[in-house]
Amino acid sequence: MHTTPAEAKAAARALRRRLADNGINLSHSQVLEIVASQLGFPDWNTAHAALAPSTSSLGAPVPVLRIHDETIARAFYLDYLGFMIEWEHRFEPGMPLYLRIHRDRATLDLSEHHGDGTPGSVIWIPLGDLEAFHAELTHRRHPRLRPGIDRDAPGGPTMEITDPFGNTLRFCEPQS
């Protein structure tokens, strides 16, 4: 996930408290410089400028996939694919679930609401090491899935998985 300036500042506050608990007292600006360095920036000013969202730039799109059963969706997306819950919403108990999940930089919304998403949608998800992800899923096992890798797919090696609701996830290791 993309780090924001607010998240970096929160990390700096936490680091400062942790260091103080161990008898190391640094100023807030000193720990901001440390956090900037950990994020790969030469200094805090550069980090802040790079992390701040531009008011004229678009954010990454978040696909909405239709689900029909919360328990099955959680088992598939969280337990099998390894996504984590970012947040979830219901208007009241017993109402349909709307759930945002993420894994690394991939974010998906799952919705039980009629009219959200279309079963049978296809999502293309780039990743860095398809072999490692395939091995992880093979180790985890799913009762109805044994995904394979298409090494000749356009764009690079691809592993296609259909979720329990008919949505297709294409995990691809793009070739440069």
The pLDDT confidence band at residue 55, using thresholds 50, 70 and 90, is low
Give which of 80, 74, 82 is closest to 142, Cα–Cα. Answer: 80
Please tell me the predicted confidence (pLDDT) of residue 56: 65
Q: Is residue 117 part of a domain?
A: yes
Average pLDDT over residues 120-136: 93
Number of domains in the chain: 2
pLDDT at position 137 over 50: yes
Average pLDDT over residues 124-151: 91
| 85 φ/ψ sector (left φ>0, alpha ψ -120 to 50, else beta) | beta
Please tell me the predicted confidence (pLDDT) of residue 3: 77
Q: Are residues 72 and 151 in the same domain?
A: yes
Rounded Cα distance between 11 and 15, Å, is 6
What value does the mean pLDDT of the chain take?
90
Q: Is residue 127 part of a domain?
A: yes
The pLDDT confidence band at residue 142, using thresholds 50, 70 and 90, is confident
Give which of 91, 113, 87, 84 is closest to 100, Cα–Cα. Answer: 87
Q: Are residues 47 and 77 in the same domain?
A: no
Least confident of 48-57, 100-109, 125-134: 48-57
Rounded Cα distance between 140 and 134, Å, is 10
Pairing between β-strand 168-172 and β-strand 122-126 as defined by DSSP bridges: parallel
In which domain, by residue range, is 155 found?
A: 64-172
Q: Is residue 25 part of a domain?
A: yes
pLDDT at position 1 over 60: no
The CATH number assigned to the domain holding 164 equals 3.10.180.10
Average pLDDT over residues 61-76: 95
Q: Are residues 40 and 82 in the same domain?
A: no
Q: Is residue 36 part of a domain?
A: yes
Q: Is residue 29 part of a domain?
A: yes
Rounded Cα distance between 74 and 131, Å, is 24
C-alpha dist (Å) from residue 20 to 7, 12, 32? 20, 12, 15
Residue labelled with tokens 């996939």: 65
pLDDT at position 38 over 60: yes
pTM: 0.69
Q: Are residues 103 and 134 in the same domain?
A: yes
Q: Is residue 56 part of a domain?
A: no
Residue labelled with tokens 């998800």: 125
Query: Tokens representing 116?
Result: 């959200």
The pLDDT confidence band at residue 58, using thresholds 50, 70 and 90, is confident
Please tell me the predicted confidence (pLDDT) of residue 54: 67
Rounded Cα distance between 67 and 65, Å, is 6
The pLDDT confidence band at residue 85, using thresholds 50, 70 and 90, is very high
Residue labelled with tokens 């919705």: 111
Are 12 and 35 in contact, with CB atoms under 8 Å apart?
A: yes
Average pLDDT over residues 82-90: 94
